[in-house]
Amino acid sequence: MLKKIGVIAHAHRRVVVVIWLAVIIALAAGVGVFGNSFSLQFNLPNVESAQGFELLEQRFGGEESGRSGTIVVRSAGGFDDTQQAALNEYFAVLDARPDMRVVSPFSDEGARQVSPRGTIAFATVSFAADINAVEEFLSIYEEMKA
């Protein structure tokens, strides 16, 4: 069957080219006429993840958020209570800022952020869209490191 179509298309190649051009022009015209009705916005009113999107919108202001980082800490013998308390204090200082969200590896929420041997842990840091938040984070880090 394909051979038959190929023979007919070859025999009438000018007509086939004109038909293809007409189809392409019709598709372009259709996009021009109906193109504005397409949207990349979505609404998921009855889905669990919608609550997460709403929380992100409230906490970080929506689409402009997304900068993130990771603070990795290591302790050769594992993290004792004193070390955990000191790190949690540091993470709390950062998390108290309105333009940062920090998940401590020693919290219930971040429990999976500690290695199985307990010697390496990481905290996730999410920043608001303001680039100054990153610079301020670095200055707070330098202050607390001293």
How would residue 74 be classed by pLDDT, with cut points 50, 70 and 90? very high
Are 137 and 127 within 8 A, CB to CB?
A: yes
Instruction: Identify whether residues 31 and 103 lie together within a single domain.
Output: no
Instruction: Identify whether residues 24 and 85 lie together within a single domain.
Output: no
Report the pLDDT value the prediction gives residue 99, as an integer from 0 to 100: 75
In the chain, the amino acid numbered 108 is D
- Integer Cα distance of 120 and 81 in angstroms: 15
In this model, does residue 106 exceed pLDDT 80? yes
Structural domain harbouring 33: 2-37
Report the pLDDT value the prediction gives residue 131, as an integer from 0 to 100: 58
The region that residue 128 occupies, defined by phi over 0 for left and psi between -120 and 50 for alpha, beta otherwise, is beta
pTM of the model: 0.50
Both tokens of residue 95?
């998390």
Both tokens of residue 54?
């709403």
In this model, does residue 62 exceed pLDDT 60? no
Instruction: Identify whether residues 68 and 132 lie together within a single domain.
Output: yes
- Integer Cα distance of 146 and 137 in angstroms: 14
Instruction: Identify whether residues 71 and 134 lie together within a single domain.
Output: yes
In this model, does residue 10 exceed pLDDT 60? yes
Specify the 3-state DSSP secondary structure of 4: helix
| CATH code assigned at 69 | 3.30.310
Count the domains in the chain: 2
Instruction: Identify whether residues 15 and 77 lie together within a single domain.
Output: no
In this model, does residue 64 exceed pLDDT 50? no
How would residue 140 be classed by pLDDT, with cut points 50, 70 and 90? confident
Instruction: Identify whether residues 31 and 70 lie together within a single domain.
Output: no
